[in-house]
């Protein structure tokens, strides 16, 4: 089925006739439903999938450290990361010990999502970063004495986050990073190329990104197709929505200015509401 055939058509609502591309994978149907109920036509094209890290031994070693010699602090960047780590702990037979260690360790999270992921397991963060970004974590920790502390840091994908790790080391802490999940291509390259062609042809009114990996995959395929410059120009003409400042920063890094970023609450519902307000304003 082609991307054009994969659009879901609606005939009424405040976004009737607006075509929105969704690169989302995990909650694609939830996201699509939020838009379709407002009348939008949704082009589903999941760009990336999320899988457990392949390095099971490294994850289990990190968990053993967290349990047997608890860190002085824990930092979680994502709810997905906490959930994946807990899954590894369950399969290793140490879930209860892991959750006890989390409950007994001062925990800082980058934004509200990790806290929401932790709640069903009966644990909660002790602090939320001043802003849901790496800089927000650094700002939160800057006034604290970290010298000599052992800090467990949940990262994601293949992202080393040198900014955060360098900050911790400069503050005299010993950082113990862990990468519990990885990104993989979800859609076939041909489908992504078709989306790129539609963006270039002006057949898409808006595209909504919810992760850095989605931005990178789209641009990577554009480069492989030798259409990178045309794609960037198309994105500058298209309404580009970013779920929060992390994704917005990724777009800026590639010379693309997001048109819509929700203010303060970085979830799908606020993103859809912000996108709807913008589209109505420019209609």
Domain boundaries defined on the chain? 7-47+185-282, 55-183
Q: Give the rounded percent of residues in the chain with a pLDDT score beyond 70.
A: 95
Residue 76's pLDDT is: 98
Residue 6: pLDDT over 70: no
Residue 283 pLDDT level (bands cut at 50, 70, 90): low
Residue 96's pLDDT is: 98
Class of domain 55-183: alpha beta
Residue 25's pLDDT is: 83
Residue 1: pLDDT over 70: no
Residue 159: pLDDT over 50: yes
The arithmetic mean of pLDDT across residues 265-272, rounded, is: 85
Q: Which residue has the higher pLDDT, 243 or 27?
A: 243
The arithmetic mean of pLDDT across residues 62-89, rounded, is: 97
Of the chain, the end-to-end C-alpha distance in Å amounts to 31
Residue 9's pLDDT is: 42
Residue 13's pLDDT is: 77
Domains 7-47+185-282 and 55-183 share a fold: yes
pLDDT digits (tens, 9 = 90+) for 224-261: 999 999 999 999 999 999 999 989 999 999 999 999 99
Class of domain 7-47+185-282: alpha beta
The arithmetic mean of pLDDT across residues 132-139, rounded, is: 93
């Amino acid at each position: 089925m082609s991307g054009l055939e994969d659009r879901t058509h609606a005939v009424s609502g405040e976004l009737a006739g607006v075509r929105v591309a969704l690169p989302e994978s995990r909650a694609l149907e939830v996201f699509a439903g939020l838009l379709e109920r407002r009348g939008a036509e949704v082009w589903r094209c999941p760009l990336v999938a999320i899988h457990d890290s392949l390095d099971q031994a490294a994850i289990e070693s990190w968990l053993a450290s967290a349990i047997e010699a608890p860190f002085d602090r824990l930092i979680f960047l994502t709810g997905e990361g906490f959930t994946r780590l807990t899954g590894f702990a369950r399969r290793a037979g140490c879930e209860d010990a892991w959750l006890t260690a989390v409950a007994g360790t001062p925990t800082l999270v980058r934004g509200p999502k990790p806290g929401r992921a932790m709640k069903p397991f009966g644990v909660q963060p002790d602090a939320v970063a001043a802003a849901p970004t790496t800089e927000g974590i650094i700002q939160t920790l800057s006034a604290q004495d970290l010298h000599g502390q052992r800090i467990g840091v949940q990262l994601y994908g293949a992202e080393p986050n040198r900014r955060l790790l360098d900050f911790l080391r400069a503050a005299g802490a010993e950082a113990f990073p862990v990468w519990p999940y990885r990104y993989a291509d979800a859609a076939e390259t041909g489908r992504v190329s078709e989306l790129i062609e539609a963006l270039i042809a002006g057949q898409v009114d808006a595209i909504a990104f919810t992760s850095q990996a989605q931005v990178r995959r789209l641009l990577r395929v554009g480069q492989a197709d030798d259409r990178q410059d045309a794609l960037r120009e198309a994105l500058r003409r298209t309404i580009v929505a970013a779920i929060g400042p992390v994704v917005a920063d990724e777009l800026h890094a590639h010379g693309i200015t997001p048109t819509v970023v929700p203010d303060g609450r970085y979830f799908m519902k606020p993103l859809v509401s912000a996108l709807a307000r913008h589209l109505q304003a420019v209609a």
